[in-house]
Amino acid sequence: MRGLFRAFINSCRGFRAAARTEEAIRQELLVLAVALPAAFVLAQDAWKRLALVGVLLLLLVVELLNTAIEKLADRISPEDDLLIGRVKDMSSAAVGLAILLAAIIWIATFAEWLGVI
């Protein structure tokens, strides 16, 4: 039980540090705060609400991993390095795909709510 509690504390500490230092994390938290009530308006089924909120939580997870990779890469080599640059680009691409997935799900749900599809 102690290990679980320590893991929780470390997670909170990491999340707080990311929110303090990363604008993208703060923006995504703001989107999540607005989207949470919107999910209950747009979707009547619990699984659709879960999909709408879940995809934004997934985006936040990917953004946290991207931030961790970038911070670690900068710590390993603050100089420009082609391979480290590629790694950072790949983690950024993962964020881009997560944003695309979230946009597709939210747009489809909104279109259905409007009766377009």
pLDDT digits (tens, 9 = 90+) for 10-34: 999 999 999 999 999 999 999 999 9
Residue type, 60: L
- Is 63 considered catalytic here? yes
What number of H helices and E strands is found in the chain? Answer: 4, 0
Q: What is the pLDDT of residue 1?
A: 85
Cβ–Cβ under 8 Å, residues 24 and 59: no
Q: What is the pLDDT of residue 77?
A: 87
Tokens of residue 112, six digits? 């259905």
Q: Which residues contact 31 (CB under 8 A, 6 or more apart)?
A: 56
Residue from 23, 28, 63, 70 carrying the catalytic annotation: 63
